[in-house]
Structure 1
Amino acid sequence: MTSIFDDIRSAFTKGNNALHQLIFINVVVFAVLIVLRTIMTLSGSGSTFGYLMTFLSLPSNLQLFAFRFWTLITYFFTHLEFFHILFNMLNLYWFGMLIREYLGDKRLVNLYILGGLAGGLIYLLSYNTIPYLQLRAEGSFMMGASGSVIAIMVAAATLLPNYTFNLILIGPIRIKYIALVMVLLSISGATGGNAGGNIAHLGGALLGFFYVRQLQGGSDMGRPLQAVLGFFRGLFQRRSPLKVAYKNPNRPYSASASSPVSSASNIPGNPSQLEIDQILDKISVSGYESLTKEEKQKLFKASQK
């Protein structure tokens, strides 16, 4: 048991591991819910567990959503079916590794959260405006990270369309075709039994595509999100204690304009946003293998920001 808690603490104290943290959160929430469902069902409280899930999954009913607005976030960390979370986490890992390598941890988190928000909003909008879905909206709830994951998949395919995965029984295939198949499956399933989930996939896919396009154009729509996350992160970070220094009146110290001040933008060799955008454009056209050693180093430096 100690080892498990050590693993959890390690996952959240080490820097630059956003992908592992996202997967870890999903798996822990899944495990807790499965254990809770088993205990409550065996004890005859299965209906109570179903009611509990309405506080985590996203309802299509706008009146209910108004009182459980947090479900717009909690739903994309919530799973109850093994194969649902398995395929979501596998895709998150494979495609998330690409986003993390080329764009960095912060933009991976941006895509995951913004993709989930876009999928949830499209779900709410469609179930309250489209007649076909309005007839099926009664008691409809949505959960799962599929909208977030497909946002990351489409973003990776937009950034690196010719990057190749070796799939079992299929062989090498470019990720742009994998993303295209996922989008087509979501479109075809928009009138099926999981219509809401598939519509949320499309919302996430659009977010992933436009996120990378705007990023290549020099704009990052995830900056407001990072500002919000930075605010909450600062609330929970330990502040270093104040230090009192003795000041010798005979040797006063005064700061001067010549005092060295470190800044990331002043570090020699630190790539500019324009250079990064040009490198990303080159990757989208010719692939990562076409980059020079210097360009790869610049991209790596940018991913550490």
Structure 2
Amino acid sequence: MKESVLKTFWRDTYQSKSPIPFIISVQVAIFVLIHLFDLLKEVNLLQVSLYDYAIDYLSLPLSFSQFLKQPWSIITYPFLYTGLFQLLFDCLWLYWMGNIFLNFLNRRQFLFLYFSASLLGACIYLGLGFIPMLQNSVQLSFSTSTFALGALVASIATLAPRYELRLLLLGTISLKIVALVYICIELIFTGLMNKAGGISFLAMVFWGILFIRSLNQGKDFSVLRLRKPTKKSKMKVVHQSKIASATYSSFRHASDLPNQEEIDEILDKISIGGYESLTSREKEVLFKASKDDK
């Protein structure tokens, strides 16, 4: 019996290990809900503007005293969108860049980077609120997941700068060029509307770069170590591909298992030339190592 389209969509979207569909779903749900409030107010079914109330109390204020009255805003602001095109733009970037990130690294590292950038960016934003010259902005509150996206785009461009993307009308462009264009555009538009937001965004770009640099040095910020490790290990790369899955069976004996020295050499090669510089054999070794580590 042929499976229904809705059931297939649910299985492929929400039963996968990727957290991206869940983040996008929350953003879309809040967007629809607040605009439903606005519609009810316009047709006079509501006497109170719940739309304005939601925007005020879910967005992150620049004033620290106002933040103390709504501390939950440090959690809600990345999911709050008021403009349809900005929501669409950010969701597409999260989907594209997030999936590229998950091709190289794992779910835990993605969640750590995304939410740590949201939290750290919010703390920097609140700290900048004490500077009077930064309060002369069009907007004195912040919403959207711009901080997290800045860290995500910068991190994947640092990890695989030579990764190529095929863009409509533009052809094949390296990931580092795409990331640079995105960061510049976002920095200009965010800075024009909110000076403190622009500075916080730039800080999160550097946070994403630092996260990958630390992984290359064997320090994974997403791992909480309760005791001192006996041996440092460099970053674990998980590259999910059909080719790697097909060749997984080529490691049949213990003697075929890759050693740490070989893995370290491959990771050093990635940090210099990107993932695409690896040979087929080196990709197989990384895939096997990631499977065994699980």
Q: Give the TM-score band, short-chain normalised.
A: 0.7 to 0.9
Match of 1:283 among 261, 266, 270: 270
- Please identify the structure whose Cα radius of gyration is greater: 1
Question: In the alignment, does 2:49 pair up with 1:47?
Answer: yes
Identify the range of structure 1 (95-104 vs 64-73) with the bigger mean alpha-carbon deviation: 64-73
Q: Hey, what does 1:171 align to over in structure 2?
A: 171
SS at match of 2:57: coil
Report if the CA contact (8 A) 1:118-1:203 is conserved.
no
Deviations 1:51-79 (A, max 9, x none): 22222111111012123222112111111
Q: Hey, what does 1:258 align to over in structure 2?
A: none
Gaps of 5+ in 1: 226-266
Report if the CA contact (8 A) 2:159-2:274 is conserved.
no
Q: Hey, what does 2:279 align to over in structure 1?
A: 292
Q: Hey, what does 1:201 align to over in structure 2?
A: 201
Identity %: 31
Aligned letter for 1:175? L
Equivalence map 1:58-207=2 (5 Å): 58-129=60-131, 131-136=132-137, 140-189=140-189, 191-207=191-207
Deviation at 1:144, TM superposition (A): 0.4
Determine the C-alpha separation between the residues in 2 that align with 1:79 and 1:287: 34
Deviations 1:3-30 (A, max 9, x none): 9799669855x35222222222222222
Report if the CA contact (8 A) 1:123-1:197 is conserved.
yes
Gaps of 5+ in 2: 226-252
Determine the C-alpha separation between the residues in 2 that align with 1:8 and 1:39: 30
Determine the C-alpha separation between the residues in 2 that align with 1:286 and 1:212: 14
Deviation at 1:100, TM superposition (A): 0.3
- What is the TM-score normalised by the length of structure 2? 0.75
Determine the C-alpha separation between the residues in 1 that align with 2:207 and 2:133: 24
SS at match of 1:54: helix
Determine the C-alpha separation between the residues in 2 that align with 1:174 and 1:45: 52
Aligned letter for 1:134? Q
Query: CA distance change for structure 1 residues 8 and 178 in 2, over 3 Å: closer, same or farther?
Result: same
Report if the CA contact (8 A) 1:76-1:145 is conserved.
yes
Aligned letter for 1:28? A
Aligned letter for 1:39? L
Question: In the alignment, does 2:59 pair up with 1:57?
Answer: yes
SS at match of 1:173: strand
- How many residue pairs align between the two structures? 260
- What is the TM-score normalised by the length of structure 1? 0.73
Determine the C-alpha separation between the residues in 2 that align with 1:69 and 1:274: 47
Determine the C-alpha separation between the residues in 1 that align with 2:11 and 2:69: 33
Determine the C-alpha separation between the residues in 1 that align with 2:284 and 2:32: 40
